[in-house]
Amino acid sequence: MLEVSDVSHAYEPGAWAVREVSLRLEAGRIGCLLGPSGCGKTTLLRCIAGFETVAAGGVRLHGEVLAEPGRHMPPEKRRIGMVFQDYALLPHLSVTGNIEFGLHALPRAERRRRVEEMLELVGLAEHAGAYPQELSGGQQQRVALARSLAPRPRLLLMDEPFAHLDPALRERLLVEVKQILRQLGTTVLMVSHDPLEAFALADRLGVMREGRLEQWDDSYVLYHQPVNRFVAGFVGRGAWLKGIVRGDGGIDTELGVARGHSAESLRPGAQVDLLLRPDDVLHDDACVTTARVVERSFKGSEFLYALALDSGARVLASVPSHHNHAPGERIGIRLATEHLVAFAAQV
């Protein structure tokens, strides 16, 4: 298990790139850090990998201390694998050569066996002799993955591994990579700036802001029970609707009473902003409450509608794509909240 406790790091005195970050990741789990550019994601990975020292706090892996102030296990001793955004494959080595690269310590026969196993795992057995530049982006990324998994790391760190791939390829590779990691039972901490990618891969998610980890939770909890507006806004689409908390725990809004369970107890009478995800707003032709279609974007099996309410407030609705309504039309809607995410209203 990976345990990061209160880790801080500054590249220059006083400029904290990572501030008091704590997280735990159980063995075999995939965790993902999200957050805007410059919030400290890469720095945190580098502290865990051992490329940076920690100014405060500690990093432990399976109970062993890797880093503390004044104590720094060198990266090559940590048995942590790393996959970077730019693959960092060695151009003069074949696929086999690249995968073999970190296996010098193993006897030859064992090394061969490990390489074959990895080639099989990532589906590149027939490209064993190819050079990186002869491979597609997706294949190169699979070589990078095989290379970092070959030494059987105790933990795999991946820094925006799919950022350079085109969206269609990325979606396919995400599924493959997840299967590979699950098959090996590898513990993974990755970084992404794309919430959809994070949801597709990870069991545990974190959102960072200005060096701090704002929340670290199961993916489902983070999406449905974000601890603040920043996290709520970062992990998915949604709109804020004004409401007033009722005595029975529901929230009165322009669209009727929103009900569902809430992580925090809401004070009756309080004015709140309620987060509505696109799947919290249902389109129903039978509804008397209507909203005007402002924008319609086609997502394949569904439309994402931006809707204007009578008050001028906007909400989003995810609607099966056989309900095709043009901008300007009025369509019936109702609330279907399961979780209430509400924060004190901002004035």
Q: Helix crossing, 167-184 with 108-121: angle to 10°?
A: 130
DSSP state of 227: S
Nearest distance from C-beta of residue 222 to ligand ADP, angstroms = 17
Q: Helix crossing, 137-149 with 167-184: angle to 10°?
A: 20
Sole binder of ligand ADP in the list 41, 78, 142, 204 (CB under 6 A): 41
Nearest distance from C-beta of residue 10 to ligand ADP, angstroms = 9
Quick one: 19 or 277, whose CB is closer to Mg ion?
19
DSSP state of 49: H
Q: Which of 117, 116, 166 is nearest to 141 (CA)?
A: 166
In whole angstroms, what separates CA 152 from the centre of its chain?
A: 24
Quick one: 42 or 140, whose CB is closer to ligand ADP?
42
Quick one: 212 or 334, whose CB is closer to ligand ADP?
212
Token pair, residue 177, equals: 């990579």
d(CA 125, CA 123): 6
Helix or strand run (H / E) with residue 61? strand 56-61
**Do residues 289 and 332 make contact, with C-beta atoms less than 8 angstroms apart?**
yes
DSSP state of 300: S
Phi-psi region of 306 (alpha: psi -120 to 50; beta: other; left: phi over 0): beta
Nearest distance from C-beta of residue 37 to Mg ion, angstroms = 7
d(CA 115, CA 97): 9
Question: Is position 37 an interface residue for ligand ADP (rule: CB under 6 A)?
Answer: yes
Cβ-defined contacts of 122-127 (< 8 Å, 24+) = 122/146, 122/176, 122/180, 123/176, 124/95, 127/95
Question: Is position 96 an interface residue for ligand ADP (rule: CB under 6 A)?
Answer: no
Nearest distance from C-beta of residue 41 to Mg ion, angstroms = 5
d(CA 288, CA 216): 40
Quick one: 42 or 318, whose CB is closer to Mg ion?
42
Which residues does 347 contact at the CB level (< 8 Å), separation at least 6? none
Nearest distance from C-beta of residue 232 to ligand ADP, angstroms = 19
Binding mask 34-53 for Mg ion (x = CB under 5 A): --------x-----------
Quick one: 42 or 337, whose CB is closer to Mg ion?
42
Q: Which residues pair with 297 in a beta bridge?
A: 304
- Total residues binding Mg ion (CB under 5 A): 1
Quick one: 7 or 251, whose CB is closer to Mg ion?
7
For Mg ion, the nearest residue by Cβ is: 42
Phi-psi region of 269 (alpha: psi -120 to 50; beta: other; left: phi over 0): left
Quick one: 35 or 57, whose CB is closer to ligand ADP?
35
Question: Is position 265 an interface residue for ligand ADP (rule: CB under 6 A)?
Answer: no
Nearest distance from C-beta of residue 40 to ligand ADP, angstroms = 4
Sole binder of ligand ADP in the list 22, 26, 38, 129 (CB under 6 A): 38
Residue 43 binding partner per list ligand ADP, Mg ion, none, with a CB distance cut-off of 5 to 8 Å that depends on partner kind: ligand ADP
Quick one: 41 or 127, whose CB is closer to Mg ion?
41
Distances (CA, A) of 317 to 4, 117, 216, 313, 321: 39, 46, 27, 13, 12
Quick one: 38 or 129, whose CB is closer to ligand ADP?
38
Lookup result for tokens 């019936």: 332
Residue 35 binding partner per list ligand ADP, Mg ion, none, with a CB distance cut-off of 5 to 8 Å that depends on partner kind: ligand ADP
Residue 17 binding partner per list Mg ion, ligand ADP, none, with a CB distance cut-off of 5 to 8 Å that depends on partner kind: ligand ADP
Which amino acid does the sequence have at 197?
E
Question: Is position 40 an interface residue for ligand ADP (rule: CB under 6 A)?
Answer: yes
Question: Is position 39 an interface residue for ligand ADP (rule: CB under 6 A)?
Answer: yes
Nearest distance from C-beta of residue 23 to ligand ADP, angstroms = 15
Residues of this chain that bind ligand ADP (CB under 6 A): 11, 17, 35, 37-43
* Residue ranges in contact with Mg ion by CB under 5 A: 42
